[in-house]
Amino acid sequence: MKKNDNVIMNEDVLRLSSEVRCVAPEEGELGIIPSSEALEKAYNAGLDLVVVAPQAKPPVAKIMDYGKYKYQQEKKKKEAKKKQTKIDIKEIKFTSKINQHDIDYKVKHALEFLEKGKYVKFRVFLRGREIATPEAGFDVINRVWEMVKEHADRENPPKLEGNHINMLVTPKKKK
């Protein structure tokens, strides 16, 4: 069987079944008719005979312009894709022994990202023995949060994941 995107159409309908339940664009449902007659009606109208329900007894076939139908489906997919929003997450890394000036500098960049509507993930990397006492890392994350909380909402509280402490913040919703 010739299949375009797993679609059974035109002469392939004859091989599928001797009879089909036919639906025409203007006349509506034509009832159960021989496949050859349905194909002839489609050709006379300058359209295609497309099986829409091959599992039904007898199969349901529709007379339509398949090229136009496929084009409209692609157009709908593109429109749906345009309406999707892509979330961009920027990551800013710290260590637990970072200087306050360095925190200020990195937070300044985080605020710029938040103004542009991007999510920011703050990550404190714990090295060696710092993992045994992560309080210093949580202290850094909390200082950062105090600096950005007027401009951002916290997605989740800071948590220890392996040898990192992570916190995700999102831009504040405008009222």
Q: What is the dihedral angle through the alpha carbons of 112, 113, 115, 118, rounded to the nearest 10 degrees? A: 180
Are residues 32 and 60 in contact, defined by beta-carbon separation less than 8 angstroms? no
Angle at 169 between CA 153 and CA 80, to 5 degrees: 95
pTM for this entry:
0.54
**For residue 175, what pLDDT is reported?**
61
C-beta neighbour count of 109 within 10 angstroms: 12
**For residue 118, what pLDDT is reported?**
92
Type of residue at 57: K
**For residue 102, what pLDDT is reported?**
95
Consecutive 10-residue runs of the chain (175 residues): their mean pLDDT? 66 85 84 88 88 87 89 90 84 93 95 93 92 91 94 91 94 78
Are residues 94 and 130 in contact, defined by beta-carbon separation less than 8 angstroms? no
Angle at 141 between CA 137 and CA 147, to 5 degrees: 150
Residue listed under structure tokens 């345009």: 82
User: Encoding tokens for residue 104?
Assistant: 């200020």
**For residue 153, what pLDDT is reported?**
93
CA distances from 64 to 18, 28, 174 (A): 20, 12, 48
Are residues 66 and 7 in contact, defined by beta-carbon separation less than 8 angstroms? yes
Of 87, 88, 106, 89, residue with least CA distance to 98 = 106
DSSP 8-state class, residue 126: P
User: Encoding tokens for residue 135?
Assistant: 């309080």
- Residue 92 to residue 61: CA distance in whole angstroms: 58
